[in-house]
């Protein structure tokens, strides 16, 4: 009897806990699930009443349209050729633009911040303790404040409407935080292990590559993820710096799906899903390092 | 390889950490730098390793001055107090790293790592990361990393201080054996005088950046050069009594105690400090001119010995070490006596031994 009670209540508790967790997860994920569902529906089903969560007639035509750039226009039941270029035609181009500026700005941010952090923690010079905190303050200034000064600088440099303007713009907003993060991380690496390597016969460069970088890897991964998320999700800089369709990034480009009289929800949702995918995959692949990275930085920072 | 330090000075900003250090570490000897925390032992060791600039003075390995030589060109090995193992590398790669960066062929690395791992009995740990090792195992890996390259000079900074008391005793013997096998000059840093006494061929006792005495363990124990060395070496610590020397006798309170010959001679009423180890004191049945009288205030059993604390007149205390079988009680009045040949006499002003002349 007592045995049964002992086993019964914990089991019930466990079930309740899982029900609770599942419902919270469902609520949080619902917009994403709904977007996925809509993107897989044919036009006729999108506004069907009652709404369906799992499409009755599943179709990949929206994805096909985005990825091939061919798009059929359904207007009031008939088909008509669109008058100008459609957003769907540019989707793959914008996707590539986003990938390029994200990777480009992240590489620059990480290389610069890692080297800067190493220097700040290992060499003695004026301001070595103030710089990291100062850079953190820089990160806290909202980007809207410096987007126009930056724009004017890009005009001077003749970089407007190019991907370079975005790469440099994103470096400006991600570098301070990446540097602070790397600095906090590097500080926690004991200098003795580098000295041990120097005595073992390594050069400064070998010490950095063989000892410091592998030890700092969790920090580098955390900083990279941060930088990629910021660059990938940016709307403001893309909106201000770029004006030709060819050079837009995804975030700004996808907004063009709202223009005109007709909003193709299926297409828009498919675009949103494709836009979310890279970051979601990245996150899942690296989240273990992310937690370790931020944790290690936080302890010492 | 003989290591000579000539008038070595080290300053961090305005703080003078080492003052005119002159030491010669003979080839293949085990030499210990001994001193209290903050006396500059680690700094001196790091200067020998080339990790710290030399403010003034010269360091020579054999005949060659190495002041400007990079650490990796000195053919030294160092065991850090924190072990400083490479956290991302397996034990195998930790051990082999020094050979790898020097371009040793793979097969030779494999061989050398295997040999060292067998000597240190860590061959079953080769594929683990440092985080998966116990303190004692880490310490062995750190030693192994230093041994694998056959260095000319072996530097160790308190390698035993993170180990428990029992392992420390075992490792003392092992380190000593490794030294004999290695054929290298070993410079060992510790603040533990027992470690220094048991392991070293020579001890340099340091205090506030100055070398106080450099000699064999027997010399620093039985002929301490000054009050600091006398108080630092030996356990339980030496007793000190302040007084004056008159006509070959030491006056403390009412007692006139016999003294050994003082070759340097003394002024009349020379202010001096008498030092005598607890082991060199005995209890006498009756008071006499050459005994000190006091009351027992504490008795501690150390095992085969007892340490007895005796309150003398004038707020002074003395500890006396006696055989554990002897019966003594707190509050007993006792008369303490010593052999004049076994006491140390120091000049109050300079702290220097008056026996040395
Ligand atoms: N980088 C530095 N900058 C300024 N002062 C320093 C520096 N390194 C050491 N010191 C000072 O030099 C003195 C000697 O330090 P050192 O580390 O050599 O002592 P130690 O004898 O090894 O002591 P311990 O037994 O505690 O390790 C100390 O007073 C210390 O504060
Ligand atoms: Mg030290």
ipTM for the predicted complex: 0.84
pLDDT at B208: 95
Q: pLDDT tens across A30-72, in order?
A: 988 899 999 898 888 888 778 888 888 888 888 888 888 776 5
Q: pLDDT tens across B129-158, in order?
A: 998 998 888 988 998 999 898 899 999 999
Q: How many CB atoms lie within 10 A of CB B132?
A: 12
**B208, B232, B256 - which closes a domain:** B232
Do A196 and B70 make contact, defined as CB atoms within 8 angstroms?
no
B228 lies within 8 A of chain A by CB: no
**B168, B202, B232 - which closes a domain:** B232
The residue whose CA has the least distance to atom 31 of ligand 1 is B38
Are A47 and A93 part of one and the same domain?
A: no
pLDDT at A297: 41
Domain assignment present for residue B257? The answer is yes
pLDDT at A291: 65
Do A211 and B82 make contact, defined as CB atoms within 8 angstroms?
no
Q: Which long-range contacts (CB under 8 A, 24 or more apart) does B72-76 make?
A: B72/A198, B72/A199, B72/A200, B72/A201, B72/A202, B72/A203, B74/A199, B74/B49, B74/B50, B74/B153, B75/B149, B75/B151, B75/B152, B75/B153, B76/A199, B76/B48, B76/B49, B76/B50, B76/B151, B76/B152, B76/B153, B76/B154, B76/B155
Are A23 and A144 part of one and the same domain?
A: no
Residue the block writes with tokens 């952090």? A117
Residue the block writes with tokens 């710096």? A241
Are A7 and A99 part of one and the same domain?
A: no
Q: Please tell me the least confidently modeled range out of A60-69, A247-256, A284-293, B88-97.
A: A284-293
pLDDT at A60: 86
Q: pTM to 2 decimals?
A: 0.80
Cβ neighbourhood burial of A149 (10 Å; 0-12, 13-18, 19+): exposed
Which residue from A minimizes the CA distance to B153? Answer: A199
pLDDT at B104: 92
Q: Is the CB of B39 under 6 A from ligand 1?
A: yes
Q: Tell which wins on pLDDT, A1 or A242.
A: A242
pLDDT band at A75 (very low <50, low <70, confident <90, very high): very low
| Alpha-carbon span B32 to B204, nearest angstrom | 6
Reading the block at residue B15, the tokens are: 């703080």
Q: Tell which wins on pLDDT, A3 or A291.
A: A291
Domain assignment present for residue A67? The answer is no
Helix A61-68, helix A87-122: angle, nearest 10: 70
pLDDT band at B202 (very low <50, low <70, confident <90, very high): very high
What element of type H or E holds B78? strand B76-79
Instruction: Please report, rounded to a whole number, the percentage of residues in chain B having pLDDT higher than 90.
Output: 67
> Would the CA dihedral through B42, B43, B44, B45 be positive or negative?
positive
How far is ligand 2, taken at its centre, from the CA of residue B78, in Å? 13
Residues 6+ apart with CB under 8 A from A281: none
Minimum-distance ligand to the CA of A124?
1
Residue range A155-180: mean pLDDT, rounded: 92
Residue range B72-92: mean pLDDT, rounded: 92
pLDDT at A293: 56
Mean per-residue pLDDT of chain B? 91
- Which chain B residues in 94-123 lie under 8 Å from chain A, judged by CB atoms? 97-98, 101-102
Instruction: Please report, rounded to a whole number, the percentage of residues in chain A having pLDDT higher than 90.
Output: 44
Give the CATH number for residue A282.
1.10.3720.10
| Alpha-carbon span B249 to B257, nearest angstrom | 5
Write out the residue range of the structural domain in which residue A16 sits.
2-59
Whole-angstrom Cα Rg for chain A: 25
Give the CATH number for residue B303.
2.40.50.140
Are B29 and B131 part of one and the same domain?
A: yes
What torsion do the CA atoms of B3, B7, B10, B16 make, to the nearest 10 degrees? 140
Give the CATH number for residue B46.
3.40.50.300
Are B99 and B217 part of one and the same domain?
A: yes
| Alpha-carbon span B200 to B195, nearest angstrom | 8
Domain assignment present for residue A70? The answer is no
pLDDT at B49: 95
**Number of domains present in the structure of chain A:** 2
**Number of domains present in the structure of chain B:** 2
Q: Are B100 and B109 in contact (CB under 8 A)?
A: yes
Given a cut of 70, whether residue B170 has pLDDT beyond it is: yes
Query: In whole angstroms, how far apart are CA B255 and each of B244, B245, B269, B289?
Result: 11, 12, 15, 6
Q: pLDDT tens across A199-219, in order?
A: 999 999 999 999 999 988 888
Write out the residue range of the structural domain in which residue B303 sits.
239-347
Q: Give residue A281's Cα distance to chain centre.
A: 10
Which residue from B minimizes the CA distance to A203? Answer: B72
How many angstroms away from the CA of A123 is the closest CA of chain B?
A: 13
**B213, B232, B251 - which closes a domain:** B232
Given a cut of 60, whether residue B21 has pLDDT beyond it is: yes
CB contacts < 8 A, A to B, total 65
Are A124 and A261 part of one and the same domain?
A: yes
- Per the DSSP assignment, residues forming a β-bridge with B60 are B4, B65
Given a cut of 70, whether residue A298 has pLDDT beyond it is: no
Q: Are B189 and B41 in contact (CB under 8 A)?
A: yes
Reading the block at residue B187, the tokens are: 């410079």
């Amino acid at each position: 009897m007592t045995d049964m009670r002992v086993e019964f209540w914990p089991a019930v508790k466990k079930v309740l806990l899982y029900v609770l967790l599942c419902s919270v997860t469902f609520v949080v994920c619902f917009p994403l699930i709904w977007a996925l569902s809509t993107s897989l529906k044919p036009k006729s089903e999108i506004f069907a009443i009652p709404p369906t969560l799992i499409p009755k007639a599943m179709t990949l035509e929206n994805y096909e349209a985005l990825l091939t750039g061919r798009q059929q226009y359904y207007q009031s039941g008939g088909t008509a050729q669109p008058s100008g270029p459609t957003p769907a035609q540019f989707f793959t181009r914008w996707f590539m633009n986003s990938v390029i500026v994200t990777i480009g700005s992240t590489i620059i941010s990480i290389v610069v911040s890692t080297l800067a952090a190493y220097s700040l923690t290992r060499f003695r010079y004026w301001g070595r303790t103030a710089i990291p905190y100062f850079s953190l303050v820089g990160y806290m200034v909202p980007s809207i404040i410096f987007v126009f000064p930056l724009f004017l600088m890009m005009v001077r440099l003749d970089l407007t409407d190019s991907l370079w303007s975005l790469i440099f713009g994103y470096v400006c907003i991600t570098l301070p935080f990446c540097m602070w993060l790397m600095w906090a991380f590097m500080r926690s690496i004991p200098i003795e292990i580098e000295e041990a390597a120097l005595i073992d016969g390594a050069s400064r460069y070998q010490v950095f590559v063989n000892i410091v970088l592998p030890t700092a890897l969790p920090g580098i991964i955390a900083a990279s993820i941060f930088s990629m998320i910021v660059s990938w999700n940016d709307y403001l800089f893309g909106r201000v710096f770029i004006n030709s369709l060819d050079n837009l990034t995804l975030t700004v480009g996808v907004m063009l799906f709202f223009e005109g009289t007709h909003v193709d929800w299926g297409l828009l949702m498919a675009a949103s899903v494709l836009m979310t995918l890279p970051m979601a995959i990245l996150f899942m692949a690296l989240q273990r390092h992310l937690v370790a990275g931020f944790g290690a930085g936080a302890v010492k920072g | 390889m003989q290591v000579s330090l000539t008038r070595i000075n080290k300053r961090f900003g305005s703080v003078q950490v080492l003052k005119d250090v002159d030491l010669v570490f003979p080839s293949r000897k085990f030499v210990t730098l001994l001193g209290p925390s903050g006396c500059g032992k680690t700094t001196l060791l790091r200067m020998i390793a080339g990790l710290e600039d030399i403010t003034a003075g010269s360091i020579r390995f054999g005949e060659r001055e190495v002041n400007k030589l990079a650490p990796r060109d000195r053919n030294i090995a160092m065991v850090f107090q924190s072990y400083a193992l490479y956290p991302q590398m397996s034990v195998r790669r930790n051990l082999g790293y020094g050979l790898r960066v020097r371009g040793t062929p793979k097969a030779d690395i494999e061989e050398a790592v295997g040999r060292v791992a067998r000597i240190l009995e860590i061959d079953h740990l080769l594929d683990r990361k440092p985080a998966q090792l116990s303190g004692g195992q880490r310490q062995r890996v750190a030693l192994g990393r230093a041994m694998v390259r056959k260095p000319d000079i072996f530097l160790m900074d308190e390698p035993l201080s993170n180990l428990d008391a029992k392992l420390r005793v075992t490792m003392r013997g092992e380190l000593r054996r490794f030294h004999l096998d290695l054929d290298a000059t070993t410079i060992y840093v510790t603040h533990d005088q027992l470690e220094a006494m048991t392991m070293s061929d020579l001890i340099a006792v340091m205090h506030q950046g100055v070398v106080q005495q450099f000699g064999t363990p027997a010399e620093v124990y039985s002929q301490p050069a000054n009050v600091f060395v006398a108080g630092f070496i030996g356990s339980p610590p030496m007793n000190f009594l302040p007084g004056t020397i008159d006509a070959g006798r030491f006056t403390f309170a009412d007692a006139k105690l016999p003294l050994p010959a003082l070759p340097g001679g003394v002024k009349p009423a020379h202010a001096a400090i008498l030092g005598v180890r607890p082991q060199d004191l005995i209890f006498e049945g009756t008071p006499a001119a050459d005994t000190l009288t006091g009351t027992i205030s504490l008795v501690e059993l150390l095992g085969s010995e007892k340490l007895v604390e005796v309150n003398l007149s004038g707020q002074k205390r003395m500890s006396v070490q006696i055989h554990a079988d002897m019966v003594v009680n707190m509050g007993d009045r006792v008369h303490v006596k010593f052999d004049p040949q076994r006491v140390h006499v120091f000049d109050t002003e300079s702290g220097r031994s008056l026996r040395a002349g």
